[in-house]
């Protein structure tokens, strides 16, 4: 009976910052004198109990003991450290992240260090200077979402025009090697995606209105897919696996690489085609062949 009560007492102290003798006595339906004897028994067993005197005094466990008593397995601790390591590769390290790493490392003192075999050096496709600027924006936007603040942006739109926007941030999205901000745009009166590299100026401002109740939904996207067939030179096979899954890639009769996939009509794949230069040919549809040819002619007129 006493052993069970001692275990219950230890669990209670682990779950609570501090407890008075009277509180513990009522909790376990024993006298305060019994509680004092139980506390002494725990101390004799090596449990580091802190006794605080005064009106606000009571019993508590040393914070380091409470930390080490958290029931994480070695594998779970290693996973947490990996997640934090990946986050530090995507965002600038902040006080919370550094504090979490320090605490989790304390949990692993009794065990051999967990070998890190996953890391993120640069989470995007951008050069280092652009990557560093993007990380600063990610941290600022993330903080504005946490604080429920709005943002004032100077943004270069798809037409190359510099626009001023006031937006209410909703979510940060890492997509196709670039960071995007999903936010309600006051200028467009709708939810928009903003590419962080196109944000030239960024300032956090007070949120002056809520839009969740009246926020327009994203416009319905045409769901009909178009089938696309491309032909590549054999030398491009390695690069193609960066963009297409193996089931979409096949070998042609004369050694060429054939790629078949379905895409939503509004998706612009011309940049992908131009990236492969003279090593790609559009087989179908006819509309894409025409667009590809027109783009090549525009490039010829530059010189």
Torsions phi, psi for 211 (to 5 deg): -120, 0
**pLDDT exceeds 80 at position 134:** yes
CATH number attached to the domain at 128-205:
2.30.30.100
Mean pLDDT, residues 98-116 taken together: 57
Among 56-70, 91-105, 281-295, the minimum mean pLDDT is found in 91-105
Q: Look up residue 269 and give its DSSP letter.
A: -
Give the whole-angstrom CA distance, residue 295 versus residue 303: 14
CATH architecture of 1-69: Orthogonal Bundle (1.10)
User: Where in the chain are the domains?
Assistant: 1-69, 71-121, 128-205, 226-302
Averaged pLDDT score across all residues of the chain:
80
pTM: 0.55
Q: Which of 250, 207, 208, 255 lies closest to 229 in space, CA to CA?
A: 250
Give the whole-angstrom CA distance, residue 198 versus residue 56: 55
Query: What is the pLDDT at residue 201?
Result: 92
Residue length of the chain = 303
| pLDDT, greater one: 199 or 47 | 199
- Read off the pLDDT of residues 3-15 as tens digits, 9 standing for 90 and up: 667 777 887 887 7
Torsions phi, psi for 58 (to 5 deg): 160, -160
Query: What is the pLDDT at residue 14?
Result: 79
Mean pLDDT, residues 109-133 taken together: 65
| pLDDT, greater one: 245 or 5 | 245
Cα 117 to chain centroid, rounded: 19
Q: Which of 203, 93, 206, 227 lies closest to 137 in space, CA to CA?
A: 203
Among 85-99, 196-210, 222-236, the minimum mean pLDDT is found in 85-99
């Amino acid at each position: 009976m006493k052993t069970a009560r001692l275990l219950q007492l230890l669990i209670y102290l682990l779950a609570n910052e501090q407890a008075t003798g009277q509180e513990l006595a009522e909790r376990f339906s024993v006298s305060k004198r019994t509680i004092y004897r139980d506390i002494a028994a725990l101390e004799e067993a090596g449990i580091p109990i802190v006794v605080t005197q005064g009106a606000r005094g009571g019993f508590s466990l040393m914070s380091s003991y409470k930390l080490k008593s958290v029931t994480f397995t070695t594998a779970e601790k290693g996973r947490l450290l990996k997640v934090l390591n990946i986050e530090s590769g995507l965002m600038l390290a902040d006080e919370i992240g550094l504090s979490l790493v320090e605490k989790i490392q304390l949990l692993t003192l009794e065990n051999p260090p967990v070998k890190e075999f996953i890391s993120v050096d640069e989470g995007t496709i951008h050069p280092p200077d652009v990557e560093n600027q993007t990380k600063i924006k990610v941290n600022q936007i993330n903080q504005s979402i946490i604080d429920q603040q709005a943002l004032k942006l100077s943004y270069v739109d798809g037409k190359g025009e510099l626009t001023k926007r006031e937006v209410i941030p909703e979510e940060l999205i890492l997509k196709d090697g670039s960071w995007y901000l999903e936010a309600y745009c006051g200028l467009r009166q709708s939810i928009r995606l903003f590419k962080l590299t196109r944000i030239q100026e960024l300032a956090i401002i007070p949120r002056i209105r809520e839009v969740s109740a009246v926020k327009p939904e994203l416009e319905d996207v045409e769901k009909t897919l178009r089938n696309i067939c491309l032909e590549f030179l054999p030398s491009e096979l390695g690069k193609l696996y960066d963009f297409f899954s193996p089931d979409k890639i096949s070998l042609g009769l004369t050694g060429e690489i054939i790629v078949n996939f379905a895409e939503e009509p509004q998706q612009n794949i011309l940049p992908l085609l131009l990236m492969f230069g003279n090593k790609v040919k559009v087989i179908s549809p006819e509309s894409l062949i025409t667009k590809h040819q027109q783009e090549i002619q525009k490039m010829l007129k530059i010189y």
